[in-house]
């Protein structure tokens, strides 16, 4: 699972693009669908392939609630499984093996049955509220009314954004730095981060806070459902096989026995554990990624721009004969660490005013006006 998370987040980087992480990244983010389309064309003809491409364009290239309905199905389905199959049978003894149960009182232990009975619906309710805020809230649309003010607030750095504001032909507005015209929504968004199809909305200046909270709460929700369901399965396995002797079996053999018990006798709960576990890892990784960008006052769109700038600079350095020469292991490791933590780009980011100032801009409001460094 960790390999999948690393591949999704960092697989497109120049140093990983030709590695297995890069190949897995391309497969997970569209390659699998290309294989499905190619196989369908071979088996059922080009008409079927064209139909699948039309579905892809409708789902990902235009505003539509398809993934929003899928999100609601996943959340409400997981809540139903936990509420019907797990919570009624969850007893205090199921959590007795956890060190947490012996440290915290019953009312503070999130895995205690009484606490879980109200914690789960509370997390679901908060998650749905944040989903509505991220989906239907204003991401910070650029209009004629706020255009002049925002052009003063967002000044170009002369590197990834030009000093002179760009003119958007579609919206007929002079677009300030850090903004972008979203081809899916058909509007210019201030401090544009990305367009999220799961909320069917852009993430920008005014809804980044609710989007970060949305990721964090759903990470906690998936991790919580995965934990209590796994504890429930473990307790049922111990109760069923309490007298069986597995001392002579190897660890892999005992694991196979446990997996067979889970998926043969409790298939719904087992699938729930796998799905919520994978989603928890993915959501946790995405939240960490966006939280790191927020602390540095960077956006996903600007990360792509910095990648282009760095690629152009490397090409110019090679063409001018000023290559790096032979790199030591320590130098390559240092470059990889700087790339993973965005330290190199953070040092050149004129919008960075320190972690506290950057978070204040997101959570408290208007950005500070800056001049060029």
Positions marked catalytic: 196
User: Token digits for 172?
Assistant: 């007929």
Q: Is 180 helix (H, G, I), strand (E, B) or coil?
A: strand
Angle at 253 between CA 251 and CA 259, to 5 degrees: 100
Closest CA to 98 of 223, 238, 232, 231: 231
Alpha carbon 344 to its chain centroid, in Å, reads 22
Task: Give me the residues paired with residue 180 across strands.
Answer: 189
Q: Is the distance from CB of 340 to CB of 15 less than 8 angstroms? A: no
CA distance 21 to 27: 10
Residue 62: CB atoms within 10 Å: 14
The radius of gyration computed from the CA coordinates of the chain, to the nearest angstrom, equals: 25
User: Token digits for 364?
Assistant: 């408290």
């Amino acid at each position: 699972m960790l390999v999948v998370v690393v591949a999704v987040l960092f697989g497109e980087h120049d140093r990983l693009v030709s590695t297995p992480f890069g190949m897995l990244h391309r497969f997970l983010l569209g390659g699998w669908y290309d294989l499905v389309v190619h196989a369908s064309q071979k088996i059922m003809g080009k008409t079927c392939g064209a139909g699948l491409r039309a579905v892809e364009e409708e789902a990902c290239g235009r505003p539509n609630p398809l993934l929003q309905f899928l999100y609601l199905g996943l959340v409400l389905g997981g809540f139903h499984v936990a509420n019907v199959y797990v919570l009624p049978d969850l007893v205090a003894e199921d959590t007795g093996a956890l060190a947490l149960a012996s440290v915290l009182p019953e009312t503070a232990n999130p895995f205690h049955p009484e606490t879980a009975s109200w914690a789960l619906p509370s997390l679901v309710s908060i998650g749905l509220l944040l989903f509505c805020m991220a989906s239907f809230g204003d991401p910070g649309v650029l209009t004629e009314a706020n255009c002049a003010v925002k052009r003063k607030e967002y000044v170009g750095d002369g590197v990834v954004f030009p000093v002179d504001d760009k003119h958007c032909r579609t919206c007929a507005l002079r677009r300030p730095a850090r903004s972008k015209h979203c081809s899916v929504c058909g509007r210019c968004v201030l401090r544009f981060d990305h367009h999220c199809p799961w909320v069917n909305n852009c993430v920008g200046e005014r809804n980044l806070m609710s989007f970060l909270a949305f990721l964090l709460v759903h990470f906690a929700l998936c991790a919580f459902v995965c934990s209590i369901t796994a504890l429930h399965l473990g307790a049922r396995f111990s109760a069923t096989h309490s007298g069986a002797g597995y001392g002579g079996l190897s660890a892999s053999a005992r694991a196979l026995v446990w997996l067979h018990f889970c998926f043969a006798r409790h298939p719904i709960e087992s699938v729930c554990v796998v799905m919520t576990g994978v989603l928890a890892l993915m959501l946790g990784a995405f939240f960490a990624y966006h939280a790191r960008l927020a602390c540095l006052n960077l956006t996903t769109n600007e990360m792509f721009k910095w990648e282009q700038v760095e690629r152009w600079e490397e090409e110019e350095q090679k063409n001018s004969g000023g290559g790096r020469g032979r790199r030591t292991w320590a130098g390559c490791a240092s470059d990889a660490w700087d790339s993973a933590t965005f330290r190199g780009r953070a040092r050149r980011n004129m919008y960075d005013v320190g972690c506290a100032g950057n978070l204040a801009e997101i959570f408290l409001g208007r950005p500070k006006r800056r001049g060029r460094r």
